């Protein structure tokens, strides 16, 4: 600009222009920043430089979160931000969290380092949490993610094979039955389940999508739960909200179920063949029932085999699960909300066997003042099981029994169901419309409110108050409908009927219970240099009540309501055992100490009071001591180059005293049982009254001393991990009766006393390996556990002789010995039978080739009861039709892998030292005197080449088979009858693919994953025709185990 023009400007104008320029320079950058800018970058792994997919990238300002994104399959992210953003935080499972200051940059790459150890993970323990490195008890934690890899309606089944020492046996897959037995280290049938800090028992029906983690306390670490801890403790923690923007997740699958192993029955020709063999298997009076003409009618199509399965049994049925969760939070409040639904159909074609469940959960935490946090956890489950009136086991018994020569319908007319044995026609009995129904409705609500206050005057000290209220109810309604079964007279062409299922009746029952927990606690946690001290003292009160009633009425009309009944034969009653009012009070304490993460110690106690005992004997003291030494943290160890490959080496030992009051039931009280029997008085039936028997005013809880020693070893940056535990638990003051040591003339029922003792001991081993090769990551984890219980002392009377004492005295013997005959194979010919030095009875005249040979154990030349000896291990029998049979050896190993967006998880699970002896129709064909059919597996038998040949003729040629000739049944309690049910199965498989974040971000999704999942897909076992976990309960007629194939989807917005 020319000088004369510049000179024309006044100083004031020049100054004002400078001010405008200054203001513009200050404001413009802020205007640009306020409009936002985008940061790009790439995230890689430090170990191999591979890009990381699915890394969460979150931007934070001084006071709040600004925005978030995820890396795509190439590790790339893009994030639009306002000027308030100051830091980026990168988080990824298995990696250390990284925070980087933005400082105005638009390109920020990040390198994430693997967690050098999982030792910093937090593990839930009794009444608190600890770092994994500091845990010195035998505690195993499973994440919710690990639970979800095995899809099943029962959470317990999803844990099988994943936790050493947690022994799980699924007895059936019947919808809504949840018939899975479990224990911890073989300790007993009642492990304590604690959900979100409250003692509860509904772990089976929890929605797995709600679970954050599950911890299993197996040793003295459980002593902090005192009188309920004797059988071990399972701690379930549900998910909580987290700081961050709200997210909504849908997770669901649709699947199909097939019977895992289900034996068919024989056709008509095979049935007639077996029947003729059974009748000819008679040395004195052999006969045949079916002639060649009978066989010919089926061969030429004049008659057809009746397939009883086809009209009632569907081998492919659906199941589905849906879950919606919402989570999020800020500095002051966080929340986790969920809704879930599950539906499982049964195998009946009527679809009248099914299970439905609806559940919700609301976990909210809020900071309501400085240092004061309030938390509310609410959940509810409503589930319903619907089934036909005839119980499932009876229906399978009927299916196995139906003869293939009898029609489903009289004269093949579907309007007239055929009259068959015992009045059970499966086509009618599987239909609720035709024969009635049984419905079970369960409702549970669980709520807990807590306040936690960090006391400002003492660093590390906090106080907590908790109140919980749980309510559950079970409602049953049964409706029995009469039905007609028909036969057809071909000559008169008349249908004749018989009525079954009478009288028409309706049954109702209602049970409810509630529990209240009050908990007041002081917690302390502080680090003094290398000294870490933490502790807590808690006062707890638990109250419970239960009530019930039931009623039934014969109906005058086909209306399934009580009001429609007759005035006679109606009942109303109550189960006295379900009418309860009890309480427990406890003082609980724990102190933890560590020095430099090297020397670890813990002491806990619980002073428990129970209303089940006399006033002066209601309180018991239970305590535990735990010590640990992390040798790997010693200076000499860290400074050793030769030992540098060891990341962690920890030795640990625990000892504690635990209690149990489950079986006591107020036996210190005397009184009467009413009603007890019925008597006729003046021509009228009256309820009777009976004395309860002698009371035991000195009865007390039984106690267990439990000890555990173990070692944890991690090497090569966690690429190899080893954990070993050896344990023993001694039970004292166990309940028993003096039935044999007092004379029978006492004249009253004897009470239980604290008389007996036992010992359970075993070993557990876990091995793990994980590694990353480029973009391919994988892990292998395996575990195996063995446990067995010996009766140290069992109160019995004196035996009459030395043999009886040896044979029957249980003292100092394992509690699971199965006595029976040894098995030596099958006779191969009549010559072998004639030359046998062992007499099986009658000079062996009735024996045939293929018959079973048994061990002459006492070598007296005779097979009888004197040859019984230990042949196997068996479960504990609970009653006439059920037993608790859990394998003594349990193992599992998991293979997991991921590559780019793909992930794969395989769980193999198995068991050994488990045996089963199936009765009735699973033991022999044509059971019940030939009135039942036969399973297909019995066709693999010894039989003459010529079906018309005399089986007792020495010249008869035989076809060999697995079973003996029809009519020979293996001796009960023999090694031939008792089958080894050991198995290895592919418990679950899941293959998933996560869509790249860059693809789904365009439609507002944060994550999308699709997967295929299978359950019980492949089994290796010596059991013939059945799944190895198929129980002999209910005579073996339980609902079959299932295989499932699921297609699932998880989406997060």
For the segment 616-627, what is each residue's pLDDT rounded down to a tens digit?
888 889 999 999
- The C-alpha atoms of residue 992 and residue 259 are separated, in whole angstroms, by 25
For residue 6, pLDDT beyond 50: no
The arithmetic mean of pLDDT across residues 690-705, rounded, is: 85
The arithmetic mean of pLDDT across residues 700-706, rounded, is: 89
Q: Of the given ranges (102-111, 230-239, 509-518), which has the lowest mean pLDDT?
A: 102-111
762 beta partners: 727, 787
Q: Give the alpha-carbon dihedral of 539, 541, 542, 543, to 10 degrees.
A: 180
Q: Of the given ranges (29-38, 843-852, 984-993), which has the lowest mean pLDDT?
A: 29-38
pLDDT for the residue numbered 30: 38
The arithmetic mean of pLDDT across residues 198-226, rounded, is: 94
If 0-12 CB within 10 Å is exposed, 13-18 middle and 19+ buried, where does residue 82 land? middle
pLDDT for the residue numbered 882: 58
The arithmetic mean of pLDDT across residues 85-94, rounded, is: 84
DSSP 615: G
The fraction of the chain above a pLDDT of 70, given in percent, is: 93
User: What confidence tier does 494 reach under pLDDT thresholds 50, 70, 90?
Assistant: very high
Query: Using an 8 Å Cβ cutoff, are 791 and 810 in contact?
Result: yes
pLDDT for the residue numbered 877: 66
User: What confidence tier does 328 reach under pLDDT thresholds 50, 70, 90?
Assistant: very high
User: What confidence tier does 545 reach under pLDDT thresholds 50, 70, 90?
Assistant: very high
Question: Whose structure tokens read 């400007």?
Answer: 9
- The C-alpha atoms of residue 358 and residue 606 are separated, in whole angstroms, by 37
Query: Using an 8 Å Cβ cutoff, are 987 and 909 in contact?
Result: yes
For residue 17, pLDDT beyond 90: no
Cis peptide before 503 (omega within 30 of 0): yes
3.90.226.10, 2.60.40.10, 1.10.3720.10, 3.40.50.720: which CATH number matches 3-112? 2.60.40.10
The arithmetic mean of pLDDT across residues 447-465, rounded, is: 95
> Which tens digits make up the pLDDT trace of 878-933?
655 556 788 999 999 999 999 988 999 999 999 999 999 999 999 999 999 999 99
Q: Which alpha helices (H) appear in 835-905, and where do they start and end?
A: none
For residue 119, pLDDT beyond 70: no
Count CA atoms closer than 13 A to 1's CA, side-chain side: 6
Highest mean pLDDT of the ranges 159-168, 658-667, 732-741 = 159-168
DSSP 133: G
Question: Whose structure tokens read 């013997």?
Answer: 813
Find the helix or strand (DSSP H, E) in which 929 lies.
Answer: helix 927-930
Hey, where are the domains in the chain?
3-112
What residues contact residue 170 under an 8 Å CB cut-off, 6+ apart?
154, 157, 160, 179, 180, 1029, 1041
The CA distances from residue 508 to 312, 547, 578, 772, in Å, are 28, 15, 16, 60
Q: Which of residues 265 and 129 earns the better pLDDT score? A: 265
Give Cα 434 distance to the centre of its chain.
Answer: 35
User: What confidence tier does 12 reach under pLDDT thresholds 50, 70, 90?
Assistant: very low
- The C-alpha atoms of residue 198 and residue 664 are separated, in whole angstroms, by 23
The arithmetic mean of pLDDT across residues 511-529, rounded, is: 95
> Which tens digits make up the pLDDT trace of 377-432?
999 999 999 999 999 999 999 999 999 999 999 999 999 999 876 788 999 999 99
The arithmetic mean of pLDDT across residues 704-709, rounded, is: 96
The arithmetic mean of pLDDT across residues 241-258, rounded, is: 92
Helix axis angle, 268-280 to 292-299, nearest 10°: 170
In this structure, the chain runs to a length of 1053
What's the chain's average pLDDT? 89
- The pair of three-digit structure tokens given for residue 703, joined into one six-digit string: 């106690």
- The C-alpha atoms of residue 732 and residue 752 are separated, in whole angstroms, by 14
- The C-alpha atoms of residue 469 and residue 447 are separated, in whole angstroms, by 5
Q: Of the given ranges (33-37, 504-508, 774-778), which has the lowest mean pLDDT?
A: 33-37
What residues contact residue 667 under an 8 Å CB cut-off, 6+ apart?
695, 696, 699, 751, 752
């Amino acid at each position: 600009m020319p000088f004369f023009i510049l000179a024309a400007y006044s100083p004031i104008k020049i100054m004002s222009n400078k001010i405008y320029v200054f203001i513009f320079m200050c404001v413009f950058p802020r205007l640009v920043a306020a409009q936002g800018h985008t940061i790009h970058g790439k995230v890689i792994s430090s170990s191999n430089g591979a890009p990381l997919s699915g890394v969460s990238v979150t931007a934070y300002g001084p006071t709040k979160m600004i925005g978030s994104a995820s890396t795509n399959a190439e590790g790339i992210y893009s994030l639009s931000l306002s000027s308030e953003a100051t830091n980026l935080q990168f988080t990824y499972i298995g990696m250390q969290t990284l925070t980087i200051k933005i400082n105005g940059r638009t390109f920020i790459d990040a390198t994430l380092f693997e967690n050098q150890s999982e030792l910093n993970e937090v593990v839930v323990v009794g009444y608190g949490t600890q770092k994994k490195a500091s845990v010195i008890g035998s505690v195993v934690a499973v994440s919710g993610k690990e639970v979800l890899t095995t899809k099943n309606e029962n959470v317990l089944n999803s844990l099988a094979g994943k936790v050493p020492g947690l022994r799980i046996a699924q007895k059936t897959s019947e919808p809504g039955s949840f018939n899975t037995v479990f224990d911890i280290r073989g300790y007993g049938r009642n492990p304590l389940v604690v959900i979100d800090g409250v003692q509860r028992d509904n772990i089976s029906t929890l929605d797995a999508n709600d679970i954050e983690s599950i911890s299993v306390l197996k040793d003295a670490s459980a002593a902090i739960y005192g009188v309920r801890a004797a059988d071990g403790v399972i701690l379930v923690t549900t998910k909580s909200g987290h700081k961050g923007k709200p997210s909504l997740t849908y997770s669901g699958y649709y699947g199909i179920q097939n019977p895992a192993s289900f034996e068919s029955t024989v056709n008509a020709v095979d049935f007639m063949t077996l029947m003729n063999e059974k009748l000819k298997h008679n040395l004195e009076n052999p006969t045949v029932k079916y002639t060649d003409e009978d066989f010919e009618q089926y061969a030429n199509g004049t008659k057809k085999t009746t397939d009883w399965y086809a009209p009632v049994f569907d081998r492919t049925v659906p199941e589905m699960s849906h879950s919606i969760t919402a989570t999020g939070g800020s500095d002051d409040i966080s929340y986790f909300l969920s809704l879930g639904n599950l539906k499982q159909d049964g195998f009946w074609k009527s679809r009248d066997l099914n299970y439905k469940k609806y559940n919700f959960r609301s976990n909210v935490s809020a900071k309501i003042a400085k240092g004061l946090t309030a938390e509310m956890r609410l959940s509810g489950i409503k589930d319903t099981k619907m089934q036909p009136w005839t119980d499932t086991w009876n229906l399978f018994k009927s299916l196995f029994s139906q003869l293939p020569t009898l029609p489903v319908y009289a004269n093949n007319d579907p309007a007239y169901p055929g009259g068959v044995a015992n009045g059970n026609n499966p086509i009618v009995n599987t239909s609720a419309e035709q024969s009635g129904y049984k419905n079970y409705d369960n409702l549970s609500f669980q709520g807990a409110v807590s306040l936690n206050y960090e006391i400002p005057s003492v660093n590390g000290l906090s106080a907590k108050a908790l109140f919980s209220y749980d309510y559950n109810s079970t409602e049953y309604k049964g409706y029995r409908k009469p039905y007609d079964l028909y036969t057809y007279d071909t000559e008169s062409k008349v249908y004749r009927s018989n009525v079954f299922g009478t009288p028409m009746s309706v049954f109702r029952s209602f049970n409810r219970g509630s529990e209240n927990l009050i908990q007041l606690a002081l917690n302390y946690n502080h680090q003094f240099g290398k000294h870490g001290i933490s502790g807590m003292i808690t006062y707890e009160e638990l109250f419970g009540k239960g009530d019930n009633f039931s009623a039934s009425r014969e109906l005058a009309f086909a209306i399934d309501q009580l009001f429609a009944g007759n005035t006679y034969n109606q009942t109303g009653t109550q189960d006295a055992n379900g009418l309860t009012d009890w309480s427990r009070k406890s003082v609980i304490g724990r102190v933890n100490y560590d020095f430099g993460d090297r020397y670890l110690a813990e002491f806990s106690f619980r002073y428990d009071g129970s209303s089940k005992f006399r006033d002066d004997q209601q309180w018991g003291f239970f305590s535990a001591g735990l010590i640990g030494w992390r040798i790997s943290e010693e200076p000499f160890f860290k400074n050793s180059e030769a030992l540098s490959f060891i990341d962690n080496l920890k030795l640990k030992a625990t000892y504690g005293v635990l209690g149990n009051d489950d079986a006591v039931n107020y036996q210190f009280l005397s009184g009467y049982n009413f009603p007890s029997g019925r008597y006729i008085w003046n021509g009228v039936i009256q309820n009777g009254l009976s004395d309860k028997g002698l009371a035991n005013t000195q009865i007390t809880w039984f106690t267990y001393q439990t000890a555990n020693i173990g070692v944890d070893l991690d090497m090569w940056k966690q690429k190899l991990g080893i954990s070993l535990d050896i344990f023993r638990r001694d039970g004292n003051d166990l309940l028993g009766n003096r039935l044999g040591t007092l004379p029978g003339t006492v004249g009253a029922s004897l009470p239980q006393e604290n008389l007996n003792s036992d010992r359970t001991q075993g070993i557990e081993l876990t091995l793990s390996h994980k590694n990353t090769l480029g973009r391919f990551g994988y892990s292998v984890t395996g575990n195996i556990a063995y446990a067995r219980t010996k009766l140290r002392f069992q109160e019995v009377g004196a035996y009459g002789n030395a043999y009886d004492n040896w044979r029957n005295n249980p003292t100092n013997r394992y509690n699971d010995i199965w006595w029976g005959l040894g098995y030596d194979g099958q006779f191969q010919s009549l010559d072998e039978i004639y030359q046998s030095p062992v007499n099986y009875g009658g000079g062996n005249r009735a024996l045939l080739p293929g018959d079973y040979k048994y061990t002459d154990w006492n070598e007296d030349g005779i097979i009888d009861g004197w040859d019984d000896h230990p042949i196997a291990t068996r479960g504990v029998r609970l009653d006439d039709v059920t037993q608790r049979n859990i394998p003594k050896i349990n193992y599992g190993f998991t293979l997991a892998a991921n590559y780019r967006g793909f992930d794969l998880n395989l769980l193999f699970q198995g068991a050994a030292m488990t045996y089963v002896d199936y009765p009735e129709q699973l033991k022999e064909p044509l059971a019940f005197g030939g009135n039942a059919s036969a399973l297909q597996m019995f066709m693999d038998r010894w039989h003459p080449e010529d079906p018309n040949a005399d089986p007792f003729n020495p010249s008869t040629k035989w076809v060999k088979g697995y079973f003996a000739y029809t009519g020979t049944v293996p001796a009960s309690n023999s090694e031939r009858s008792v089958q080894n049910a050991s198995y290895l199965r592919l418990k679950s498989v899941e293959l998933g693919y996560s869509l790249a974040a860059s693809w789904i971000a365009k439609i507002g999704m944060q994550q999308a994953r699709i997967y295929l999942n299978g359950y019980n897909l492949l089994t290796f076992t010596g059991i013939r025709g059945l799944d190895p976990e198929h129980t002999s309960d209910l005579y073996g007629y339980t609902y079959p185990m299932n295989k499932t194939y699921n297609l699932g989807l998880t989406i997060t917005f």
